[in-house]
Structure 1
Amino acid sequence: MNTLPWRRRVAAIASLGDENRRKLFDFVRSAGDAVSRDDAARAVGLARSTASFHLDRLVHDGVLLVEFRKLGGRDGPGSGRPAKLYRAAVREVGASVPDRNYDLAADLLVSAVEASMAEGGSAREVLLRTAYARGYEAGRTRADAAGPAAGAGFAELLAAEGYRPEDDGAGGLLLLNCPFDRIAAGHAGVVCAMNGAFLGGAAAGCGIARERVEALDIDDLKAQGAAQQGQCCARIRPPGA
């Protein structure tokens, strides 16, 4: 799963376009513990005030986290105020326009290969089972955070994974973006089946009937005039459809 929402990742990439901020991020990320402004400034050859400005900008953009801690093992009166320290919020930052989620595809495929090697059986069946279970887990987590209403958090989950859900006007959802577009183009039989299983699991985890997930062939969608380039070949049917 992506650590930062897509808009935050785009902002983080833009922030890291500054050479000084990129150097500071690399230093903080590679450090074994949280670092002070003075240590970061010395490491990259910047004035303390300049380093402080860039470090706080990286915090604002979600790339770094701040913590306050007294240094030197001293405590009590006279030990001084806690120091402001920085640590990496993410190990890496990646973004694409439109949003893609190739990390999720790779994780599902590798997990399925590992399970198939350990358990045997059809690689396709193991992949679909793995994708469904991962979707269900993500759906339950989102539903627990969103509240008790059936379907709570489902659209938010789809948006977080890059599907760009949009109301179809009848109570269902169109998925305007395919998070796996490039690999689906050459391996639709595998990737689209995996995608359908993941969405089915996510729907079930959010309390939505799995049957509402309609995983169509992209050619079928095009024949219906409902598909645009880069659009997901699945859609979420209205309740009772």
Structure 2
Amino acid sequence: MLVDTSKEVRDPDVSAVAALDEPTRRRLYDHVVRQPIPVSRDEAAAALGLARKTAAFHLDRLADALLLDVVYERRSGRSGPGAGRPAKLYRRSARQVAVTLPDRRYELAGRLLAQAVEESDATGEPVRRVLHRKADELGRQLGEQNKTNVFDLLERYGFEPRREGDVIVLSNCPFHTLAQEHTETVCGMNLHLLSGILNGLDAAGLQACLAPSPGRCCVQLQPAAQEAV
């Protein structure tokens, strides 16, 4: 899920992908995720012909990047005094890593659309009305849970904000392909999401307005006293 442009924001997914750029680390990752049970440092080192210290270093780096989970088990099956210390083992993390450039957030859109369809089917309320409400609720949650400035939160969620006078223009649409094919539905969802974010952040001086323009998001943030374009 945005950013003060004077600060560097490191996307954890980008960091995870960068961790796999090192050839030995990538080989270890591929080996671990193909195994049916967690793998020890000794097992990984023997399988790939590496020194144990080298394998341990790279496995821990993969764990630091949240690409692998660490578990501790006694492989002997023994317990109690004399059973020895549990071994440090590695297995695939449940975390999903996805990097797109420019930043896209199709999973977020998919969840909102699925929730809207399910609630509409259950209640009979028009699906678009439900979608707008769900988007506004999510935006409020994001704003309330990430008390920061508007730029930081918008940057975090891929909108690439920049100022043009007293207006904040969003240079990227995180839902670009969907918005191209289903413009009215997705842009309406986006408008209510951003309105919710502003409310969650208590950014009373700004309002989200539809202002379609080629090469940018269909929504921009204008001074609250200014009429929507």
The answer to whether TM tops 0.5 is yes
With normalisation by structure 2, the TM-score equals 0.76
- Show the counterpart of 1:162: 158
Contact 1:8–1:62 (Cα < 8 Å) also in 2: no
Matched, 1:107 2:111: yes
Contact 1:66–1:84 (Cα < 8 Å) also in 2: yes
What SS does structure 1 have at the residue aligned with 2:209? Answer: strand
* Structure 1: runs of 5 or more not aligned: 144-151, 222-226
Distance 1:187 1:6, change over 3 A: farther
CA deviation string 1:53-87 (max 9, x = no partner):
321231343423557x6856557xx8866754546
How far apart are the structure 2 equivalents of 1:21 and 1:237? 50
Q: Give the counterpart letter for 1:121 in structure 2.
A: E
Distance 1:6 1:124, change over 3 A: farther
CA deviation string 1:93-130 (max 9, x = no partner):
11111111111111111111111111112111011111
- Show the counterpart of 1:207: 202
* Structure 2: runs of 5 or more not aligned: 2-8
- 1:55-134 equivalent positions in 2, closer than 5 A: 55-64=59-68, 71=74, 73-74=79-80, 84-86=88-90, 90-134=94-138
Contact 2:136–2:194 (Cα < 8 Å) also in 1: yes
Percent of paired sites with the same residue = 36
Instruction: State which of 186, 190, 198 in structure 2 corresponds to 1:195.
Output: 190
Distance 1:212 1:63, change over 3 A: same
Matched, 1:237 2:213: no
Distance 1:142 1:89, change over 3 A: farther
Instruction: State which of 16, 27, 32 in structure 2 corresponds to 1:20.
Output: 27
How far apart are the structure 2 equivalents of 1:11 and 1:164? 19
With normalisation by structure 1, the TM-score equals 0.72
How far did 1:11 drift?
3.1
Identify the structure with the greater helix proportion: 1
How far apart are the structure 2 equivalents of 1:205 and 1:127? 18
How far apart are the structure 2 equivalents of 1:135 and 1:40? 44
Contact 2:32–2:44 (Cα < 8 Å) also in 1: no
Contact 1:163–1:175 (Cα < 8 Å) also in 2: yes
Count of paired positions: 212
How far apart are the structure 2 equivalents of 1:52 and 1:176? 43
